[in-house]
Amino acid sequence: MSENEQAGEKTELPTEKRLREAREQGNIPRSRELATAAVFGAGVLAFMAYSGSMARGAKDWMRQALSPEPTLRHVPREMFGHVGELMAQLMLAVLPLLVICLLASFLAPAIMGGLRWSAKSMAPDFKRLNPLSGLKRLWGPEAIAEFIKSLLRVVFVASAAGLCVWHGIDGLRALLHEPLERAVIDGLGFTLKLVLSTAGAMALLAVIDAPYQKWNWMRKLKMTREELRREMKEAEGSPEVKGRIRQLQQQMSQRRMMEAVPTADVVVVNPTHYSVALKYEGGKMNAPTVVAMGVDEVALRIREVATGNKVAIVSAPPLARALYREGQLGKEIPVRLYSAVAQVLSYVYQLRTWRGGPMPSQPVVDIDEFAPGARP
């Protein structure tokens, strides 16, 4: 398989940026089976918990509905208000059930991908009206998966309900010979077992569907190698821009170095290829500090600035090379170079105080550039 073909295959996991953009657009994993199981199961549990209070409320509502005030027969206009009161009382009786089911409807989105509000997902999408897209949904892999899921739903629910009826068939037959009140109680008990079995079947299907929906969502968001390279390039910036930034940074660093050269005490040179400017302030610094350093053209520029500002220039090739190799801009010199730099600074201080007489002789700095422990 060619490189172009491999680059066109979506084999790479989605990046955090791609996942974040998908969530912002409202593209999150959804499981209708999990949502159905959550609402239905919560409704069953709520019915079990509040069945007593709802039964009493329904009883009072039924009594009031079937026994209206006799005066309402003579004033038909008041019947509308009476019906409104009945509807309000009915809603109040089943309000706990409705509230719990409403809260349960947020459970599935919270489990699958978190509760998110996206204006983009609410905007109309005219691509959904495309007949070709509709045909693809009817005959594509998604349609096959939905068909299999529908079969499993029928099998699970029918099996659960069938087993419940099979084990309770004798009890159902016995209802015919029981008193009305007892038959109602036993019938409601059987109905409760039936809905619990159905809820269990829906929960089992949701356990299968939820991981599949997450896997399918990740599969759709997979990226090709070309998309991954393009995103990494956008995140890190193009090489041209990064090169330009590095160039500007180097120019700014050199400008700051040149501005610091006039404050130096001495410039140690090679004398042609290396230049290192040192500064020492007794009481403020523990050791001399490198304020500028460079090779070739930068070294020549440092010497020119030093000459123009009457900064001492000392030729010590081994020391200049060692300082450039081991020193760091803005940092103190390495410990092993203390003695050699001290000789150079002592010579510079003697030049500053010289007022005639014998000229101070430049010290011969003897240093091993490649001593053990020195940085290469």
pLDDT tens, residue by residue, 316-368 = 888 888 888 888 888 888 888 888 888 888 888 888 777 666 667 777 777 76
- Tens digits of per-residue pLDDT, 109-126? 888 776 666 555 555 655
Long-range pairs for 332-336: beta carbons < 8 A, 24 or more residues apart = 332/285, 332/286, 332/287, 332/288, 332/289, 332/290, 333/278, 333/287, 333/288, 333/289, 333/290, 334/374, 335/287, 336/371, 336/373, 336/374
Average per-residue pLDDT in the chain? Answer: 79
Residues 6+ apart with CB under 8 A from 123: none
Tokens in use for 113?
Answer: 């991908």
> Would you state the pLDDT for residue 110?
81
What's the pLDDT score for residue 115? 66
Instruction: Give 28-63 pLDDT, tens digit per residue.
Output: 888 888 888 888 888 888 877 777 777 777 777 777
Distances (CA, A) of 305 to 178, 256, 272, 278, 309: 114, 13, 15, 14, 6
Supply the pLDDT for residue 236.
Answer: 62
Number of Cβ atoms within 10 Å of the Cβ of 164 = 20
Rg (CA), the chain: 43
Sorting pLDDT into bands at 50, 70 and 90, what band is 291? confident
- Check: CB of residue 224 under 8 Å from CB of residue 8: yes
- Residue 258: alpha-carbon gap to chain centroid: 44
Yes or no: say if 116 and 23 are a contact pair by the CB < 8 Å rule.
Answer: yes
Task: List pLDDT tens digits, range 248-276.
Answer: 777 787 788 888 888 888 888 887 788 99
Tokens 């998908």, residue located: 22
Name the residue among 297, 254, 255 with its Cα closest to residue 275.
297
pTM above 0.75, yes or no: no
DSSP codes of every residue in 135-197: HHHHHSHHHHHHHHHHHHHHHHHHHHHHHHHHHHHHHHHHGGGS-HHHHHHHHHHHHHHHHHH
Helix (H, G, I), strand (E, B) or coil at 71: helix
CA 236 to chain centre: 17
Q: How confident is the model at residue 20 (pLDDT cuts 50, 70, 90)?
A: confident
Provide the CA 359 distance to its chain's centre, in angstroms.
Answer: 71
Position 326 scores a pLDDT of: 86
